[in-house]
């Protein structure tokens, strides 16, 4: 995932960003609790869709003594700045706080004591078993504390324009397209074929941006930006090395439209055919739909991400944390567990398209058998479910956003200014080291 792009998406695609739920008890064991009337506050960012999926109403019907009040901030960066201020003051926190992939590492490292440690709950083993190990692990500290229960996930695939493929003489059947790029080198070869095709749309590039290649492939390595202890090592990472190789080739050879993701030109490019492929997490499907509208129905299809057979990639996802010194900690824990239970994750997927972070939910028939008619009837439940199951737990750190921005900016320099890839890589490393205080 592009951590920084994920943050931009929270504001640029407020109505579309997909952030979900996973863990805890089921509908059957959601008890009524105390008869005391209690108001639980939930502080979120972007669009978690608990309200739109009717989950709050359902929970309050099961618990007549509970009233849920949600506040949501559009931009995740602004949300987290306010959350840090409240954590420092030790006051002003909601009973439940949303925690995003872009800042979960900072919470784990610097604020774990401020949140309920889910590993110490009586049902900790059951809770952990309800999540993909990588999802549980991302919210875990080095000494085993777990600060949040997972909501959604962002397993990635590759979205492609069937009409543009047909014009260029490439296959359009999703199985054949998947066979076209079993790995990233094959994906680049297909891009070169696309670029040279006499019948292709003249102003259409192979992929939207070098960041799309870099950000989706970097997490397929054993390491991305950090070592096993969460210390930044971008210059020594196998994930960075391979992702840079693929993305810099695409940039240097003019295979990208070199667009800034979530910018105005990028948004418009979905409709004008400026690129034929884009790495897309599950939540991106709604974003593409929102940009193209009815005219885009049936133009797109979905194939697995290159290299997904060995290791898939994740972009996005969140957690629910319960502040340890809240006014209603026990009731908040019960609500957080219920909202993130596999049963609720299935409901969120079927009602609002948030992809689960729970393997039990992802394996539910309602998810497995799901298709997306807008994307040519693609079996999205199967494609993203297989991707989620093969995501590798890559260590994340508090500076991932800054490091990733350093590399994607350097890739833009290659595509725009013709900067030598080796020089650009050195520039990216220097910028990344400055960002982390090295």
Mean pLDDT by runs of 10 across the 438 residues of the chain is 40 35 38 74 95 97 98 92 95 97 93 97 97 96 96 97 98 98 98 97 96 95 93 95 98 96 93 96 93 96 96 94 97 98 97 96 98 97 96 90 95 96 97 88
Q: Give me the sheet containing 275-281, strands edge to edge.
A: 205-207, 275-281, 156-161, 300-304
Within 10 angstroms of residue 121's Cβ, the number of other Cβ atoms is: 16
Structural domain ending residue among the three candidates 353, 379, 405: 379
Instruction: Give the largest Cα separation in the chain, rounded.
Output: 72
Is position 2 within any domain? no
In the prediction, which pLDDT does 393 show?
A: 86
Domain check: are 296 and 348 in the same one? no
In the prediction, which pLDDT does 36 show?
A: 87
The two three-digit tokens of residue 101, written as one number: 């992939």
Is position 242 within any domain? yes
Within 10 angstroms of residue 438's Cβ, the number of other Cβ atoms is: 10
Domain check: are 96 and 124 in the same one? yes
Domain check: are 191 and 162 in the same one? yes
Structural domain ending residue among the three candidates 379, 402, 418: 379
Is position 4 within any domain? no
Is position 5 within any domain? no
- The enclosing domain of 27 has a CATH number of 3.40.190.10
Is position 38 within any domain? yes
Domain check: are 195 and 271 in the same one? yes
Domain that holds residue 408: 156-314+394-435
Is position 65 within any domain? yes
Alpha-carbon distance of 231 to 286, in angstroms, equals: 35
Domain check: are 59 and 121 in the same one? yes
Please name which of 197, 200, 192 lies closest in space to residue 161, comparing C-alpha atoms. 200
Contact 388, 132 (CB under 8 A): yes
In the prediction, which pLDDT does 437 show?
A: 82
Neighbouring-strand partners of residue 156: 281
Is position 1 within any domain? no
User: Which residue carries 């909601």 as its tokens?
Assistant: 94
Domain check: are 375 and 276 in the same one? no
In the prediction, which pLDDT does 8 show?
A: 40
In the prediction, which pLDDT does 11 show?
A: 39
In the prediction, which pLDDT does 13 show?
A: 38
Is position 243 within any domain? yes
The two three-digit tokens of residue 361, written as one number: 């939910």
Domain check: are 196 and 118 in the same one? no
Domain check: are 148 and 235 in the same one? no
Considering its fold, how many domains does the chain have in total?
2
In the prediction, which pLDDT does 34 show?
A: 55
Domain check: are 276 and 266 in the same one? yes
Domain check: are 177 and 136 in the same one? no
Q: What is the SS3 string spanning 354-398?
A: CCECCHHHHCCHHHHCCCEHHHCCECHHHHHHHHHHCECCCCCCC
Please give the span between the terminal C-alpha atoms of the chain, in angstroms, as a whole number.
Answer: 24
Domain check: are 309 and 345 in the same one? no
Please enumerate, as own/partner, the contacts of 105-109 that have beta carbons within 8 Å and a separation of 24 or more: 105/138, 105/230, 105/396, 105/397, 105/398, 105/400, 106/398, 107/147, 107/148, 107/321, 108/139, 108/140, 108/141, 108/145, 108/147, 109/141, 109/230, 109/397, 109/398
Domain check: are 81 and 134 in the same one? yes
User: Which residue carries 């939910």 as its tokens?
Assistant: 361
Contact 218, 240 (CB under 8 A): yes
């Amino acid at each position: 995932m592009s951590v920084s792009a994920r943050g931009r998406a929270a504001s640029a695609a407020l109505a579309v960003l997909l952030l979900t739920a996973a863990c805890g008890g089921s509908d059957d064991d959601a008890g009524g609790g105390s008869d005391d009337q209690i108001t639980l506050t939930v502080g979120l960012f972007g669009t978690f869709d608990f309200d739109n999926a009717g989950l709050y109403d359902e929970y309050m019907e099961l618990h007549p003594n509970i009233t849920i009040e949600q506040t949501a901030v559009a931009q995740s960066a602004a949300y987290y700045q306010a959350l840090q201020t409240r954590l420092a003051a030790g006051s002003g926190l909601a009973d439940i706080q949303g925690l995003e992939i872009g800042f979960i590492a900072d919470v784990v490292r610097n604020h774990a004591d401020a949140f309920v440690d889910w590993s110490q709950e009586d049902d900790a083993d059951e809770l952990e078993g309800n999540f993909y190990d990588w999802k549980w692990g991302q919210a875990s500290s080095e000494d085993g504390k777990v600060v949040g229960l997972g909501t959604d996930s962002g397993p990635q695939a590759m979205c492609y324009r069937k009409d543009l493929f047909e014009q260029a003489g490439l296959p359009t059947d999703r199985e054949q397209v998947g066979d076209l790029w079993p790995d990233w080198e094959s994906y680049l070869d297909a891009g070169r074929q696309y670029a040279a095709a006499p019948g292709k749309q003249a102003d259409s590039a192979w992929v939207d941006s070098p960041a799309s290649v870099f950000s989706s492939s970097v997490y397929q390595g054993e390491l991305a930006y950090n070592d096993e202890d969460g210390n930044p090592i971008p210059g020594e990472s196998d994930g960075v090395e391979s992702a840079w190789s693929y993305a810099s080739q695409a940039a240097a050879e003019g295979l990208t439209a070199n667009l800034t993701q979530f910018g105005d030109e990028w948004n418009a490019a979905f409709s004008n055919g400026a690129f034929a492929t884009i790495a897309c997490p599950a939540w991106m499907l709604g974003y593409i739909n929102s940009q193209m509208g009815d005219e885009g129905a049936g133009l797109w299809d979905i194939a697995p991400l290159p290299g997904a057979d060995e290791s898939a990639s994740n972009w996005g996802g969140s957690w629910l944390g319960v502040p340890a010194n809240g006014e209603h900690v026990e009731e908040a824990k019960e609500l957080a567990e219920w909202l993130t239970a596999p049963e609720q994750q299935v409901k969120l997927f079927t009602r609002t398209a948030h992809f689960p972070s729970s393997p039990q939910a992802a394996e539910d028939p309602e998810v497995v058998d799901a298709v997306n008619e807008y994307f040519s009837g693609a079996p999205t439940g199967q494609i993203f479910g297989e991707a989620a199951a093969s995501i590798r737990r890559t260590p994340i750190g508090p500076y991932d956003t800054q490091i990733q921005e350093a590399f994607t900016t350097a890739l833009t320099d290659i595509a725009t200014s013709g900067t030598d890839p080796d020089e650009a890589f050195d520039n990216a490393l220097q910028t990344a080291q400055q960002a982390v205080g090295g």
